[in-house]
Structure 1
């Protein structure tokens, strides 16, 4: 696959036009209809994928159900070995995976793909799923617990990071002995299909992993509503997440959801700005701000607000923007719909009285006119109650809010419905720990943002950001259920 031009798509036979994986076969939708997948930097068609319906979801779920018994009874060591093989193939095709995801999402290269590491980490957990022994009041009785798979699981993947998010669901599900049906986002399904092809080459049996493409309101809606699906995972918007939860409630099945965030970065007076500013800028411009954990709010002590805004303005002014295949730091938004959403919030911020310090506009010019490019933007003078400080924009828009004391900083940080990620910038360890304990977020970083390469750090939200954890040993527990076994050994 080329890394120099978006027009060329040669994945060494790893992608098939208008085909999805069901029961080990690459097939079109039963209706024969297809969806064009566009390059958001140029609006050129990359490939077609099937426009599946409930009938295709039913076929995939049936295939997963047929494969479940055999896969459940496959030894954990063998399941782990197959995941290791999948990881190795992903490592061999790392450039293909990274380039394809850049093409369909529009983001510049991130560097080494995390996918092989995710698969390798999870493969090592497959034979370490354990239970407990339990004491009894009767000397001849032994109690114990065992963890067992659910059966057929469903996973709905968003478009912003389809590859890593897919394996974050699929790997623990398969390691624990489940089978799974994946429905990727219609805007960016190609990386998921590529990973599925590599999984089959690694020896994952037919039906264990199925990937069905299509629109959310059609194929996506049918997956959690299917009566054979025993567990669901969803990453996406709160609006769609609520619909998925309703479908799961009707079938009384458990659900893991990650529904976005409005992540705060609290900057204390003693913070090292030379260290903080580049990270703060990257935390909102990486993937064009289309990241659930994006650091979209900076909460800074009033006495250093001006200094920080000046430094951030300079950093934002140096962010290079363009098509993914150029040496740039920020690419386009995924679609015209997303572009209109972000531009709408820029208008809302102005109307609310916030000051645009940098950006605030759609980019124009020869290299921008075919894509969905918006300038990285800083709003100053933001009040906690403003919509731009409360609602997830999912774009490169940073809101700067001031505080007078630590209690106010915590109140502002916790003053949204979200609680996914947070960061504290300070040299004072005691204050850092105190703030980390008081901020309502599933992950809090000190003097960095995100997991910073930590392997196995659980990821998930508080409040409306969702529930359940991925990216760690906790993910295995998400895909298993506990059974109590009582043994009476008396003669």
Structure 2
């Protein structure tokens, strides 16, 4: 455990070395010796440095993973599961530290704990449940069966918005299934991933099973799917980058899982309970400053409830407090200056398209906001479906309100983007809820709630431009295996 007199800076509390990433069980600098600054988004100051890895570092990590693979593949599934479970236990012991570290580097308010231990523990229990099938045969002396075998070295590119949970959701099933893995975290938020890797080391994961290479996406990230040792890829991030990852995987003919963007609708029908819908809408648009692929940034509302909903959401948003991760604020900054400029640019786009700013619409004023990357939570009303602010993923605390006439139009508007990650439906009528939820094109649809944290093992992934493949489900571990058919005939 971290001692009580340890530094208050969450990164310093980990006691991990600056300027090092994990390759083959060793904490090493980049081959070039170059580093990348990790910036505190609340203040704009440098937290620490991490290696500026490139293709050479990626190959070093992939080679270490390749060398570790045979022994890890042949290890008992029970032992693999026990080691992953021990990793989960260490994460549980340090759950508040994990929460603080991720909040610090991303800029979001503290959650009070961390969902990471549950994610890892859930997968650990599946390690020795992976099984094949016995096949029927035409001959009494023939025996047919299928075996589930790991791919080998996997690659994983993790985004900056929820790095800890997404790293755990990718690494845990990969290694539990007998694969080894190379992880490339985002340069803006690599620290939680590095700390999780250190905890996996402490849990007894053998050297080379889990490797982390830090650096820029265009350098280390681009090199990962191109590396000849990588046999399977996972990517979470923007559709444009996901397309490039998929193109690289297609050239090498290796499988890839993509979890991409969203423009999630929250469908509020005429009989909706606004006392439940309004808090959920505000939380969904402002959690992590709207920098979540599943953020509900479009409200498709029945015209009969439109004015009341806008007033109630605006009142709640106007009373939100902004501030740093440890200030007790309701919402923090955006991740960096580029993202701040992007979101402010979309606010100009919305005004130019004729949408009305109900609340927010600019940077907050005050000395405490001058050095961080803050943008006010903003509500746009009088939005029409063809507007860019209703079609494009902004990745910021920006809500577009689209009034409609009835459930039919609501479904049409909800489905009227390229994305299909999540959606919510708010209504008292069970029949309407079922019909609407079935017709909305999204990988997850919530009724009278927004989020899947109350359900264990809910598959997460999207339709359309939001990607393909599912994570966090009971059978996710099978996606990290390939099927071998074995046929034996007696002499």
TM-score bin, normalised by smaller chain? over 0.9
* CA separation of 1:181 and 1:10: change in aligned 2, threshold 3 A: closer
Q: Return the alpha-carbon distance in structure 1 between the equivalents of residues 211 and 286 of structure 2.
A: 33
Name the counterpart of 1:132. 133
Is 2:418 the partner of 1:410?
Answer: no
Q: Secondary structure at the match of 1:367?
A: helix
Q: How does 1:15-414 map to 2 (within 5 A)?
A: 15-414=16-415
Q: Return the alpha-carbon distance in structure 2 between the equivalents of residues 206 and 133 of structure 1.
A: 35
Q: Return the alpha-carbon distance in structure 1 between the equivalents of residues 411 and 141 of structure 2.
A: 54
Q: Secondary structure at the match of 1:416?
A: coil
Is 2:485 the partner of 1:484?
Answer: yes
CA drift at 1:6: 10
The answer to whether the 8 A contact 2:7-2:13 is kept is: no
CA drift at 1:313: 0.6
What whole-Å deviation, never above 9, does each CA across 1:285-322 have from its counterpart, x for those lacking one? 00000000000100001111001111111111121111
Name the counterpart of 1:459. 460
Q: Return the alpha-carbon distance in structure 1 between the equivalents of residues 355 and 239 of structure 2.
A: 26
* CA separation of 1:155 and 1:212: change in aligned 2, threshold 3 A: same
CA drift at 1:2: 11
Considering only aligned residues, what root-mean-square deviation do their CA atoms show, in Å?
1.5
* CA separation of 1:361 and 1:187: change in aligned 2, threshold 3 A: same
Q: Secondary structure at the match of 2:160?
A: coil
Say how many residue pairs are matched: 489
Structure 2 unaligned residues grouped into runs of 5+: none
CA drift at 1:455: 1.1
> Which has the higher mean CA deviation after the structures are superposed, 131-140 or 390-399?
131-140
Q: Return the alpha-carbon distance in structure 1 between the equivalents of residues 249 and 339 of structure 2.
A: 28
* CA separation of 1:82 and 1:11: change in aligned 2, threshold 3 A: farther
Q: Return the alpha-carbon distance in structure 1 between the equivalents of residues 372 and 7 of structure 2.
A: 12
The answer to whether the 8 A contact 2:289-2:334 is kept is: yes
CA drift at 1:139: 2.7
Q: Return the alpha-carbon distance in structure 1 between the equivalents of residues 308 and 473 of structure 2.
A: 38
Q: Secondary structure at the match of 1:300?
A: strand
* CA separation of 1:446 and 1:321: change in aligned 2, threshold 3 A: same
Q: Secondary structure at the match of 2:250?
A: helix
* CA separation of 1:435 and 1:189: change in aligned 2, threshold 3 A: same
The answer to whether the 8 A contact 1:6-1:39 is kept is: no
Q: Return the alpha-carbon distance in structure 2 between the equivalents of residues 307 and 414 of structure 1.
A: 24
Q: Return the alpha-carbon distance in structure 2 between the equivalents of residues 11 and 79 of structure 1.
A: 30
Q: How does 1:413-428 map to 2 (within 5 A)?
A: 413-428=414-429
The answer to whether the 8 A contact 2:10-2:97 is kept is: no
What whole-Å deviation, never above 9, does each CA across 1:423-473 have from its counterpart, x for those lacking one? 000111111111111011000001111203211000001000000000112
The answer to whether the 8 A contact 2:11-2:101 is kept is: no
Q: Return the alpha-carbon distance in structure 1 between the equivalents of residues 147 and 112 of structure 2.
A: 40
CA drift at 1:11: 4.3
Name the counterpart of 1:443. 444
Q: Secondary structure at the match of 2:197?
A: helix
Q: Return the alpha-carbon distance in structure 1 between the equivalents of residues 112 and 283 of structure 2.
A: 14
The answer to whether the 8 A contact 2:11-2:191 is kept is: no
The answer to whether the 8 A contact 2:150-2:482 is kept is: yes
The answer to whether the 8 A contact 2:269-2:406 is kept is: no
* CA separation of 1:6 and 1:312: change in aligned 2, threshold 3 A: farther
* CA separation of 1:10 and 1:402: change in aligned 2, threshold 3 A: closer
Q: Return the alpha-carbon distance in structure 1 between the equivalents of residues 192 and 459 of structure 2.
A: 24
The answer to whether the 8 A contact 2:14-2:195 is kept is: no
What whole-Å deviation, never above 9, does each CA across 1:412-432 have from its counterpart, x for those lacking one? 111100000000001111111
Q: Return the alpha-carbon distance in structure 2 between the equivalents of residues 293 and 184 of structure 1.
A: 20
CA drift at 1:403: 1.1
CA drift at 1:10: 5.5
Q: Secondary structure at the match of 1:374?
A: coil
The answer to whether the 8 A contact 2:149-2:484 is kept is: yes
Q: Secondary structure at the match of 1:347?
A: helix
The answer to whether the 8 A contact 2:302-2:403 is kept is: yes
Q: Secondary structure at the match of 1:424?
A: strand
Q: Secondary structure at the match of 2:128?
A: coil
CA drift at 1:96: 1.4
What whole-Å deviation, never above 9, does each CA across 1:55-107 have from its counterpart, x for those lacking one? 00000000000000000001110000001110111111112111111111000
The answer to whether the 8 A contact 1:6-1:103 is kept is: no
Q: Return the alpha-carbon distance in structure 1 between the equivalents of residues 8 and 351 of structure 2.
A: 38
Q: Secondary structure at the match of 1:312?
A: helix
* CA separation of 1:2 and 1:242: change in aligned 2, threshold 3 A: farther
